[in-house]
Amino acid sequence: MNYRHFTVLFLLLASPWAHALKPADPARFEKAIQAFEAEDAAKTPPKDVTVFVGASNIRRWQSLPERFKKTPLLNRGFGGSQLSDVAYFADRCVIKYKPKQIYLNAGGNDLHAGRTPEEVLASFEEFVTKVKAALPKTAIAFISIPPSPSRWGEVEQVKKANALILASCKKQGVDFIDTFTLLLGADGQPRPELFVEDQLHFSEAGYDVVTSAIRWQKDILAFAKKDAEKAPPEHPIVFTGSSSIVKWKTLAEDFPGLPVMNRGFGGSEVFDSFNYAHLTVIPYKPRQVVFYAGGNDISAGKTPQRVFEDFKAFVAKVHAALPECRICYISNAPNPKRWSMIDKMIEANRLMEAFTKTDKRLQFINVYPYMLGADGKPKPDIFVEDQLHMNVNGYVIWKEVVGSYLK
């Protein structure tokens, strides 16, 4: 090859057109799609279903039904697929079900195969166009391409593809579920415990993160909107946790003169507060955090030990950023609806109380005995109709007990 020919070849290879790859032949997944169709023939899919579709992190999500018990859903992930494959088979693995909601996670395999972020974006937009043309009322959410350890060398391409898809989502009214940063540790690297041995696919701990993001991202973004509308107080006392915090509407009135702020999100579990502490707690640089969660965890089948471990992780995350911050844990409260679980609640309280005694920055606020009647059962007049959440009488008790711990 002479010098001129070499130069021309080099320029061609260096040009942007040289990187454009023809998508892999989607026919390689025909058997997988046929298997879905056979499954549908054997058992009629539910109506108003939520469809999870995409590559292997969707296909391998065995705990999906358990995590979204109240939602009729279908898992239509096919491992190794690219976003272009999902777009190609959209009619047969998504649209035919007329789903109420779609969660899509793919794109990493496209990038790994050498396709550009722009090509990944094009496949994403092809999928969205197909779905919107057939199902204009169906909600679509894209779960961001994850930063897996085994493909860390491709992270800049992943970031660019996510950024392009995020911009497209904003234009098209599609939700973008940002799990990317949640999967990274304080060192900016992927957290290895969130992946199985191949360091590519999620472990159950990884699916915890994704589940939390799907459930709570909108609530967390709503906090940011509130902060934009009204500046939060300096070094506040942040109340965070589940619905009993959310429903404490008289919080500011109950503690006048104290910079209290409510950052609870109803239905959440202890892990969710840990997962989003960098957005719901740490940015405010609070002098004190008052935390209540754990009942939803136990109701969902988690053990007291798991609730305790998640709280320890929350404390570690907050103290890593704010070493002087005081953290108070309000005990799991007794209520009629979950009375059958009371032994597990008591065990969780025991673990929490023992833990708080190991660090002077921690305190255990025991509301439990004050919510019981003379018969040792929850006082009937302190709960609303659902027999789970408190009425004003219940919050009067909390005001008195919790108030003594606020400084």
3-state SS, 51-110, equals EEEECHHHHCCCCHHHHCCCCCEEEEECCCCCHHHHHHCHHHHCHHHCCCEEEEECCHHH
> Both 147 and 258 in a single domain?
no
Are 154 and 111 within 8 A, CB to CB? Answer: yes
Sign of CA dihedral 234, 236, 241, 244: negative
pLDDT at 86 exceeding the cut of 80: yes
Mean pLDDT, all residues of the chain? 94
pLDDT at 204 exceeding the cut of 50: yes
Domain with residue 35: its CATH number is 3.40.50.1110
Number of neighbouring beta carbons within 10 Å of residue 404: 8
Report CA-CA distances (Å) from 308 to 220, 315, 384, 389.
23, 11, 28, 22
Residue 8 lies in a domain: no
pLDDT of the residue at 20: 54
pLDDT of the residue at 314: 98
From CA 377, how far away is CA 370, in angstroms rounded? 11
> Both 178 and 238 in a single domain?
no
pLDDT of the residue at 24: 76
Task: Provide the domain limits for residue 284.
Answer: 232-403
**Final residue in a domain of this structure, among 216, 241, 265:** 216
Q: Predicted confidence band at 190 (pLDDT cuts at 50, 70, 90)?
A: very high
pLDDT at 10 exceeding the cut of 90: no
> Both 117 and 266 in a single domain?
no
Residue 102 lies in a domain: yes
Say how many domains are in the chain.
Answer: 2
> Both 322 and 252 in a single domain?
yes
From CA 12, how far away is CA 199, in angstroms rounded? 35
> Both 275 and 127 in a single domain?
no
Residue 221 lies in a domain: no
Tell me how far apart the 2 most distant CA atoms of the chain are, in Å.
98
Order of strands across the sheet with 101-105? Answer: 73-77, 50-54, 101-105, 139-143, 175-177
How large is the average pLDDT for residues 127-142?
98
Q: For the chain, what percent of residues have pLDDT higher than 90? A: 92
Residue 359 lies in a domain: yes
211-260 pLDDT per residue, tens = 999 999 999 999 999 999 999 999 999 999 999 999 999 999 999 999 99
> Both 30 and 173 in a single domain?
yes
349-407 pLDDT per residue, tens = 999 999 999 999 999 999 999 999 999 999 999 999 999 999 999 999 999 999 999 97
Residue 77 lies in a domain: yes
> Both 203 and 241 in a single domain?
no
> Both 170 and 63 in a single domain?
yes
**Final residue in a domain of this structure, among 170, 190, 216:** 216
